[in-house]
A and B are shown apart, each in its own frame.
Chain A
Amino acid sequence: MSEQALHKQSRMGRDVLAGLIFLVIALAFAWEATHYDMGRTIRMGPGFIPLTLAVLLGIFGAAVAISGFRKKNEAAETGPVSWRGIALVCISLVIFGAYGRQLGIVPVVFVCVFIVALASVKNTILSALGIAAALTVLCYVVFKLGLGMSLPTIGPAFGPFQRF
C-alpha cells in the first residue's frame, strides 16, 4: 500500500515542477540574451528574438505552474525512477565520447554495452558480457567493415596492439 503511494505523483506537483523547469530555463536564456545587441524592429539584433522567445517560454512556464496550483491533488500513475539505469546509460555515453578515439571501436563498444546492459535488473553480469560480445561483433561488421567509419578498430591506448 505505502509502496504504491510512493509511485504516485500528485498532478499538482508535476505541473508545478514542469512549470518551474520551464521558468528556470527561460530565466537563464533571457538573462544571457540581454548581453546581446537588441537592434531595432527594422533590423533586429542577435538578442531580440532569443529574448522574446525566452519571455514567451517564461509566460507559458508560469501558466503551467499556476494551473498546477489550481488543481486539486490528483494522482497520476508512474513507475519508480530507475536511477541505476539513468546513471549507467549516462556513464556509458560519457565513456564513449571521451575515450572512443583512444580505445577504438571494438573495446569501447564492448565496455559501453556491458555497462548499459547492467541498467536492466534482468541482466546478470554473465548475460551482460554475452550481449556486449554479440553487439561488439555486430558493430564491428556493420560500422567498420560495412560503412568504414573513422574510429580505429583498436585504438592507440593499446600500444602495440593498435589496429586501424
Chain B
Amino acid sequence: MELLSNLALGFETAFTPVNLLWCFVGVLLGTLVGVLPGIGPTATIAMLLPITFTFSPVTALIMLSGIYYGAQYGGSTTAILINLPGESSSAVTAIDGYQMARKGRAGPALATAALGSFFAGSVATLILAVAAPPLARVALNFGAAEYFALLVLGLLVSISLAHGSVLKALAMICLGLVLGTVGQDVTTGTPRFTMGFQELYGGINFVSLAVGMFGVAEIFRNLETERSREIGVSRVTNLWLTKEDFRRIIGPVLRGTGLGSVLGILPGGGHVLASFASYSAEKNLSKNPKEFGHGAIEGVAGPESANNAAAQTSFIPLLTLGIPAHPVMALIVGAFILQGITPGPNVINDQPALFWGIIASMWIGNAMLVILNLPLIGLWVKMLTIPYRVLFPAIVIFASIGCYSINNNPFDVYAIAVFGVLGYVLIRLGCEPAPLLLGFVLGPLLEENLRRAMIISRGDPTVFLTRPISAVLLAMGLACVIVAVLPAMRNKRKEVFVEDD
C-alpha cells in the first residue's frame, strides 16, 4: 500500500535522534507557552523561527509544528487549574474543567483532556495522511486564476477569525496586503515604499511584524492592568479515571474528534469553532444538560478532542494548497519560504521525506505530550507561579535576539518596536491583528498570481468569473463575508436594546 510505504518513510525521517530531540523540544516549549498566559504560540514560533534557520527544513518544521499542537495541550491545563485559558480554543474547556477542579476532580479533568487530545490528535493525523495527497493532486491542476481566487477565499474566511467588526477585519486584511507590497517588485525590480532604506528592499521583516503585533503589543496590553494571578489548585492528585468516567467520555471524544477534524480543514480559526461546536453538541445530547457548567466531564472531553483534532487537520490546507488557515500556519508558511521551499501541492511529490516526516512527527509528538502532561503536571503547576513581571522582560529580550540574528540587521529590531506600537494602538481600538498577518503573508502570492492570471487572459479581468473553479471559490468568499455580517447585525440590534434600558 502506498500510504503504508509513505508512512514508513515518514517514521524513518521522524525517528532520527535529531528530529526526535527537536520534536521533544517543540512540544515542551509549546506546553510551556500554552501554560504561561501572556505569551501564545504565535509569538513563540515567530521568535524561534530565526533559530531554526540552521536546522534542516524537516527538523525546523517538526519543531515548529510541535510548538503549535503542544500549546493546545498546555492551554487546557491553565483553563482547568486556574480558569484562565492559555489559548482561545481552550476557553470552552475552562467552563466545566475549572468546576471539576474546584470539586477536587482536577486530576480526572486533566487526564480526560490529555487522553481525549491524544486520541483526537492521532485520528486527525491519520485523516491528514489520507486526505492530503488526493487534495494536492487536485490543486496541482490549479492555474493562476484559481490560485488567486483561493487566496481571496482564504483571506475573506479569516474574517471569521476576528471577533469584532467585519469592516475593521476587512481594513486589517487590506493593511496587511499593503504592508506586504513593501520591498522590491518581483517582476520589474522596482523598489516600492522603501523610503530610500536599503534594508527595506527585501520587504518588511515578517518575524519582526509577527513578534511586534502578537508579542510586544500583548505586553503593552498586560501592562495596562497588572493583576496577580491566583492559583486555586496547587496540587493535583489522583490522575486516574474511574470506569464510570471512561464510559462517559468515550462518546464525547469520538464526536469531538469527528467535528474537530471537519471544522479544522476550514480556513480561519477552525479549532476555536470546533471546541464551541462540540460543547454545544454534547450539551444538547446529554441526558442531564443541567450538569454542564457545573463540572460535567463530557464538557471537557468533547471540546478538548475537537480542538486538538482541528489543530492537526488545519495543516491540510497548508500542506496541500499552501494556504495558511490562521496566524500560526502563516508563520509556518514563513518557515517553509525561509527554508527555500514553496508550500503547496508540490511539497508532497518534491519533498516526500519532509511531508511524511512532519505527519509522522505529529504522532510521536502527541505521544510525548501525554507523557509530558500527566506525570509532570506538578512541574507545570509550578510554572504558573512565575510572575508576569519576570516573564515579559524575557519575551522582549528573546524577541530582540531572535529578530536580530536573522540578518544581523538592527533595522529588524527597530521594526519590532514600530509594529508593537502600531499593533497596540489598533488592538486597543478594537482591531484584531490576525487578519493583518494573514494579509501580509498572502499579499505577495496574491499579487503574483493576479498578475500572472491577467497576462494569461490577455488583460481580461472576467477570467476569474468565467473559469468555474475560480468563480465558485470567489462566490464562497463572498458568502463568508455575508454570513460574517449577519450576526454582527443581530448584535447591533442587541446593543440598541441594551441602550434603551
Contact = CB atoms under 8 A, between A and B. Distances in A.
B198 interface: no
Contact of B404 (A36, A90, A96): A96
A86 interface: yes
Interface string A42-78: 1111110110011011001101100100001010101
B485 interface: no
B188 A46 contact: yes
A147 B54 contact: yes
B51 A147 contact: yes
Nearest to A115: B393
B404 A151 contact: yes
B431 interface: yes
A117 interface: yes
B261 to A, nearest CB: 34
Contact of A117 (B389, B417, B425, B454): B389
Interface string B412-436: 1110110011001110111100000
A49 B447 contact: yes
A43 B455 contact: yes
Contacts of B171: 18-19, 22, 57, 60-61, 63-64
Given A117-B389, A135-B394, A21 B223 contact: no
- Considering residues A17, A60, A89, A98, which has the most beta carbons from chain B within 10 angstroms of its beta carbon? A89
Nearest to B54: A147
Contacts of B499: 72, 74
A127 to B, nearest CB: 8
B450 A116 contact: no
Contacts of B329: none
A50 B293 CA distance: 50
Nearest to B456: A42
A80 B455 CA distance: 52
A15 B413 contact: no
Given A50-B181, A97-B411, A42 B167 contact: no
B244 to A, nearest CB: 43
A71 B401 CA distance: 44
B451 A21 contact: no
Contact of B192 (A46, A64, A82): A46
A96 B400 contact: yes
Contact of B175 (A57, A76, A120): A57
Nearest to A80: B224
A109 interface: yes
Interface residues of B, number: 68
A53 B165 contact: no
A123 interface: yes
A146 to B, nearest CB: 9
A113 B431 contact: no
Nearest to A44: B451
Interface in A79-130: 79-82, 85-86, 89-90, 92-94, 96-98, 100-101, 105, 109, 112-113, 116-117, 119-123, 127
Nearest to A81: B224
Given A67-B167, A121-B226, A46 B187 contact: yes
A112 B417 contact: no
Interface string A6-44: 000000001101110110011001001100110011111
Given A53-B178, A64-B165, A100-B404, A90 B420 contact: yes
Interface of B: 51, 54, 165, 167-168, 170-171, 174-175, 177-178, 181, 185, 187-188, 190, 192-193, 216, 219-220, 223-226, 387-390, 392-394, 396-398, 400-401, 404-405, 408, 410-414, 416-417, 420-421, 424-426, 428-431, 443, 447, 450-451, 454-455, 458-461, 495, 499
Given A21-B429, A89-B417, A97-B400, 18 more contacts: A18-B171, A18-B430, A22-B174, A29-B193, A42-B454, A46-B187, A53-B178, A57-B178, A63-B171, A64-B165, A74-B499, A82-B224, A90-B420, A96-B404, A101-B408, A113-B396, A131-B393, A135-B397
